[in-house]
Structure 1
Amino acid sequence: MSRPFSAFRANAREHRASILVAALSSAFGVALLSSTGVLAAYIAQDDVAAHGSVTVALNVVAVIFFIIAVYVGAIVTTNTFATIIAGRTRTIALLRLIGSSAQAQRRSVAGEGLTVGLIGSLLGGAIAATLALAAVRVFVALRVLPDLLYPVITPALLAPLVVVVLTTWLASWVGGRRVLTVTPVQALGAAEERPPAALRRSRGRTVVASALILVGAALLAFGLLLGLDVFATPVLQQYHSYGVLVALPGGVLSFTGIILAAPLFMPSILRGVGLLFGHGTATRLAAANAVRNPERSSRTTIGLVIGVTLITMFVVAAQSYLQMIQEAQSNEPELYAGVTPVVTVTMIVFSVMIGFSAVIAAVGVINNLSLSVLQRRRELGLLRALGFTAQQVKRMILAESAQLTVSAVLTGLVLGTVYGWIGAQSLLGSIPGGGLLVPALPWPFLALVAVAAAVLAVVASIAPTRRATALSPVAALAVE
């Protein structure tokens, strides 16, 4: 443990955001299990528990939210470690030059991830458990909840901590795979991303990404149809309540495939959007950068795509869930008498999860954008040496942030709407009085998400851009 910790300590500043993501993921899981236990106890003391479909749905939601929290945390961590490794290319190459192996360097990176996971999960879990216990006491004192024995602190709360540690370690291992491609000769040059031609020749990436997207889409479709109870086969009809459990891995697989394929299609989207911002030198160079460095541009953009997709998915799922329950109540009022309190509490849980998702996404976006700009100090120094002014460099970064925001928001809104709607329909599509409904889109909230994403992207690039342009061109070119 001492060797991983020493590697972590040497690079502690780079891991602050990763620790925060691990802490948030752990807190997400602990808070979810605690709130689900409280909600179950609350429902059990009322006749509402007799409504089997709603009760099953609430139990399934707990599992789904936890899986989503862990998955998103792992994706954000993988993206962050990939960005960190891209900036360490020369350092890793120097270590290779003096005899260190690529596998040893990758194990060192994975050790850093294990330490990040341990620190983050323990911190987040302890804070969430304390806050959950305090919140229940406050709600009971205010008579929002009846005075019952609520299972807030249970051994089950250790599960999120263990899962977050393991997934953070795995994410650092996956994110550090670029270490294997670093050669000792790269110690003589700057950190470079792979050129577009190398990515296009990567048939393995294309095949794997296509397979994940196709299999994921098939599972999403099957989960949706199963949740709507459209199959005449008796064997399938008895599992209609679990359509969401089929759709969930479909969403995970398809979105993983989209992330894996991002360097193949996202740069072209970025360039097309960038050309809409005018034909000035800075804006044209910003548009060209997306294609010139496809891995860097897609890695930076996909962080914002993850955030917008996640928040949109939860918002659309919550609104669709509410709409479907209300529709079922209007069609079968006697069957759903007394469900309103459960729906209210469930919507509160949805709101808390949306808040957690927004924070996790924001941390990932800010960290990746900041690291990306700071790692380009040599590039920015070269532009300054060629005659670019500091203001032109700032305009270029701003243009890149703008094209990133537009591309990510559009992509995330589409993906989030699809995933959220399928999730709600596969969960409640077959309840009595329910059925197939169009997606419930809360446009004011989605507009707020778009504006927040734009502000976040711009603000995240301001400070590192100022630091990068404050260096003289000669000093910037000398940065390792």
Structure 2
Amino acid sequence: MKHGNLRDHGSSVLVAALSSAFGVLLLQVIGALTAMVRGHDIAESETLQAVLSIVAFVFLAIAVFVGAIVTTNSFSTIIAGRTRTIALLRLLGSSASAQRQVVAREGLVVGVIGSLIGAAAGTLIAMGGVRIAIASSLIPELDYAWFEPVLMLPILIVTLTTWLSSWIGSRRVLRVTPLEALGAAVESDERAGRRGRNATALTLVIVGFALLVLAVLSGLVTPLGVLVGLVGGMVSFTGIILGADRVMPPVLRLLGRMLGRAPVARLAAANAVRYPERSARTTIGLVIGVTLVVMFAVAMRSYVDLVTRSVELHGGADGWDDILTVTVVVFSALIGFSALIAAVGIAGTLSLSVHQRRRELGLLRALGFTRGQVRLMVAAEAAQYTAAAVLVGTALGVFYGWVGAQSLLGSTAGQAIVPPAIPWLVPVSVALAAAVITLAASVGPARSALRVTPVAALATD
């Protein structure tokens, strides 16, 4: 992989590493929790072990799914910035399939490097965490196995999904024509000819939400209902991502009206919706992050409420409170890992997006915009992206989190449907964190781009 390409894929390598570390750490922690459960005299220890195993599978699937989405989004952004270069190679005789194979090979290298780094980091973190927990008398001294063959599973899955994500994300290469090498590197409006994709997105959303309803109902009978919910969540969210260029622009347009009527504000509002594909790629990473954090927070609070209800119905048991406390602490840490995956993705995508707009920013400078005005425009766009992602992500997170907890533990809580427990401090904290990440990821590259003179920026590929 060339140096420039490696720089482009820095965030993708980090996402792959975090996904692999998440999976390895998850398997290690579940093993430790299962061993600890066996050491307690809990009346329903077998049920709890089964629940832990199901939760482990669900979290691992979510980690891989999120990593795949973020990586696909990153590759799509990278390809969008390479349009003129790819078109020039096409003009010189290279085929679209050959260029796509180059991108796919880059994805394979990214997956191998990232997954190996992440596996090593996840194992070290698990070993250190267990030793600290033992020293703090939080868990007993047990014979923990750190190098089981099952740990190869996250490595293989992350490598495969990263390669597949690069292949899917590089489909844009097939649409690049040699003539684009002679034109400006401005992203085109890709809404034309998307009827099939939009129909697919709508179908996935409808089917996914139907499965989520089925998960809640089946969860009243068996904890395996959460697996139906997992499939429904992935299917529906995939549909939302496919149709993001239809979902996000109306929200961005509404928020853009709140920026005011000043020229810079109006330009920022127009830029946010001018290229729906670009807006969707920029915001979807942040939507993922907000959805994840809110979903896990709601799921964890609902999980505690449902377990408490179950204990009250079936009678308390020695050691249950300790297990519940440790489980909440452990999965709270794993939630942070998921949020970090998405945060890295949005930071990398925004940074690349602004970096690739040097020609556009140079044109604004040539038309008389000051550096301060351009920076204000970029910040206003980032504010729109943040607010839109927080609104959409919070709504999705509350719903997905409630479905997850309800479908997992509804059968043990007296077959009751419990309203979602929403820790409102979490969405507020997420909004503030998202604002900081978005501004840092966009304003920094914009400042760097503005150091280039307007003439030099306009000459940049």
Pairwise same-fold verdict (TM > 0.5) = yes
Distance in structure 2 (CA, Å) of the matches to 1:281 and 1:138: 56
Q: CA deviation at 1:326?
A: 1.6
Query: Is 1:270 equivalent to 2:264 in the alignment?
Result: no
CA contact (8 A) 1:213 1:254 kept: yes
Aligned pairs, number: 461
Aligned match for 2:200, one of 208, 215, 224: 208
Deviation at 1:337, TM superposition (A): 4.5
Answering whether residue 411 of structure 2 is matched by residue 421 of structure 1, we say no
Q: CA deviation at 1:432?
A: 4.4
Q: Which residue of 1 aligns with 2:425?
A: 444
Question: Structure 2: any 5+ residue segments left out of the alignment?
Answer: none
Q: Indicate conservation of the 8 Å contact 2:220/2:416, yes or no.
A: yes
Aligned equivalents of 2:132 and 2:375: distance in 1?
49
Number of the residue aligned with 1:98: 92
1:27-426 equivalence runs, <5 A? 27-48=21-42, 50-195=44-189, 198-229=190-221, 240-334=222-316, 336-426=317-407
Residue number in structure 2 paired with 1:234: none
TM-score for both structures, normalised by structure 1:
0.93
Percent identity among equivalent residues? 55
Residues 91-117 of structure 1: CA deviation (Å, up to 9, x unaligned)? 000111111110010010010000000
Structure 1 residue ranges, 4+ long, deviating more than 6 angstroms after superposition: none
Query: Contact between 1:49 and 1:55, CA under 8 Å: does it hold in 2?
Result: no
Q: Is the 8 A contact 2:285 2:345 kept in 1?
A: yes
Preserved CA contact (<8 Å) 2:362 2:455: yes
1:290-309 C-alpha deviation (Å, 9 max, x unpaired): 22111111110111101100
How far apart are residue 434 of structure 1 and its match?
5.9
Does structure 1 conserve the Cα–Cα contact (< 8 Å) formed by 2:28 and 2:126? Answer: yes
TM-score, scaled relative to structure 2: 0.97
* C-alpha distance in structure 2 between counterparts of 1:455 and 1:228, whole Å: 41
SS in 2 for 1:441: coil
Instruction: Summarize deviations over 1:38-79 as a string: whole Å, max 9, x none.
Output: 111111122226344333211100000000000000000000
What secondary structure does 1:199 align onto?
coil
Query: 1:84, 1:21 → 2: CA distance?
Result: 15
Partner of 2:17: 23
Q: Is the contact made by 1:300 and 1:372 (CA closer than 8 Å) also made in structure 2?
A: yes
- Which residue is equivalent to 2:416? 435
Any idea what the Cα deviations from partners look like across 1:118-153, whole Å, max 9, x if unmatched?
000001101211221233233323332212212332
Query: Relative to 1, partners in 2 of residues 1:34 and 1:331: Cα closer, same or farther, differing over 3 Å?
Result: same
What SS does structure 1 have at the residue aligned with 2:108? helix
What is the identity, as a one-letter code, of the residue corresponding to 1:194? Answer: S
Secondary structure of the corresponding residue to residue 42 of structure 2: helix
> How far apart are the structure 1 equivalents of 2:192 and 2:331?
41
Instruction: Name the CA distance, whole Å, in 1 between partners of 2:51 and 2:188.
Output: 46
Aligned-pair Cα RMSD in Å? 1.4
Residues 199, 264 of structure 1: 8 Å contact kept: no
CA 370–418 in structure 1, closer or farther in 2 if over 3 Å, else same: same
Shift in alpha-carbon separation, 1:49–1:71, aligned structure 2, 3 A:
farther
Which amino acid is 1:425 matched to?
A: Q
Distance 2:289 2:215 in 1: 24
Give the whole-Å Cα distance in 2 for the aligned partners of 1:145 and 1:161. 28
C-alpha change, 1:322 and 1:434, in structure 2 (3 Å) is: farther
Structure 1, unpaired ranges of 5+: 1-6, 230-239
Aligned residue type for 2:352: L
Q: Distance in 1 between matches of 2:79 and 2:361?
A: 19
3-state SS, counterpart of residue 431 of structure 1: coil
